[in-house]
Amino acid sequence: MKQTRVSKDELFSSVSVPKALLTMAVPTVISQAINLIYNMVDAFFVGRTGNSYMMAATSLTLTMVMMNAALGNLFGIGGGSHVARLMGAGRHENARHVSALSVYGAVAIAALYSLLIGVFMDPVLRFLGASDATIDYARSYTLLVVVAGSLPSILSMTLAHLLRNAGFSSQASLGLSLGGVLNMVLDPLFMFVILPRGQEVTGAAVATLLANCISCIYLLFAYGKAGHSSALCLSVTEARKTSRGDIRNILTVGVPSAVLTGLFDVANICVNMIAAAHNDLVLAGMGIVMKVERIPNAVNLGICQGMLPIVAYNFASGNHRRMQETIRTARNTGLMISAACIVLFEIFAGQASRLFLSTKAGDAAAALTTIGYATLFLRIRCIASPVQFINYHTSYCLQAMGNGRGTLLHAFVREIVFYIPLMFLLDRLFGETGLAAALPAGEACGAVFALWLLHRWLKQHGTNRAEKKA
């Protein structure tokens, strides 16, 4: 047990920064990429029907599905980052209490979310922009993926975050990747073989639910096995021993992290509402783009999630030089990837959009119009990729160092002060083109504010030893 623990500590504390970041980030990037495909595969196969209204329905439900990620961050990143800081401070027993509480907290919040969506499903879908032509499709998808599927989805993400922050990045990534691979296999089976024609959205939802459940079972097994040689724990008794101070530290980071992702979902709700006000085809086109543009986001989130435990550990141990080197290395890598993605999207925007909607089935004219919108929107919105990464990177740095207040402030300013007002303003001035342009404009403003926050925090704490209570 001791040898395994020491090896994880050495990875965070003494292995060269590029190698440590590579070790932690590569499995995470791979799992993010596979899960990106997993989240996109429903849209891809729905697009094979050529039905723009099915595509619009899955776009509407994306906001509720992404809320699972926000709730997974509450105890996953909140608990996981605190576990890494406790390990850096040598407080492994406290880390066991925190990890156990985080698991059961995730179960409770998932059950509550499922209940609320189940009770208020139709009003929520109408609020998100569902029309008479799309609500039946959206309802069937929501019932299976959100109402029935939130528990395995949120618990899987929480377990993966905890595993990653304890140094088990490969196991976390394998568990999440398993769900993605299964969904890719099961989607066409349920959509085009098992269920009758016209039930493709329901088939996609069934496949997603089954994939999430199997992924969750594997992660529970991996988590339990890792607990024999680490600070991870599933004991209810250990969870009850969590101190009020530790609970406060979980929530100090977890709540802002959840709010950050939640506000991102709120922004997507506004995008969908504005797009739907134009017409269902604009909504479908924007839905395609919001999936395609997640390619650089997935890679960059993988880098940030791999970086977080290294930063947290070294912040708590007082090795600020190593912490800042990790921050710089991750930032430079993410910016290079973002720049490359801009070039690729500008060149291949049309081809990328056509992947998600067939023009040979269903209403070909509507499909071509939808692809036209998607191509235009993608070429505009992809410009946001580098500044969007700066926002992610800075937020994860602040979370790693336990600065929940800064994370919350950044999330609020980024989405509420800049992005959402800009989308309404630019849409009013320039129509759907302005709506697309709001993303790079809002993210650029948010990135400037984020860099100022991080600089101020590092200046304040760069030469001080981490607080013992971290």
pLDDT at position 110 is 96
d(CA 42, CA 36): 11
d(CA 280, CA 268): 16
Tell me the torsion sign for CA atoms 337, 338, 339, 344: positive
Structure tokens at 458: 């590092």
The CA angle 237-230-179, to the nearest 5 degrees, is: 90
Q: With a threshold of 0.85, does the pTM exceed it?
A: no
d(CA 383, CA 19): 30
Structure tokens at 94: 């406290």
Q: What is the pLDDT along the chain (470 residues), one digit of tens a residue?
A: 343 443 566 788 778 888 888 888 888 888 777 767 766 666 667 767 767 778 777 777 877 887 888 898 889 888 988 898 888 888 888 989 999 999 999 999 999 999 999 999 999 998 887 888 888 888 999 999 999 999 999 999 999 999 988 888 888 888 888 888 888 889 889 988 898 888 888 898 999 899 999 999 999 999 999 988 888 999 999 999 999 999 998 998 888 888 877 888 788 888 888 988 888 888 888 888 887 887 788 888 889 988 988 998 888 888 888 898 999 999 999 999 999 999 999 998 888 888 777 666 656 777 788 888 889 999 999 999 999 999 999 999 998 888 888 888 999 999 999 999 999 999 999 999 999 999 999 999 999 999 999 988 888 875 444 344 43
Chain centroid to Cα 380, Å, comes to 22
pLDDT at position 465 is 43
Read off the amino acid at residue 322.
R
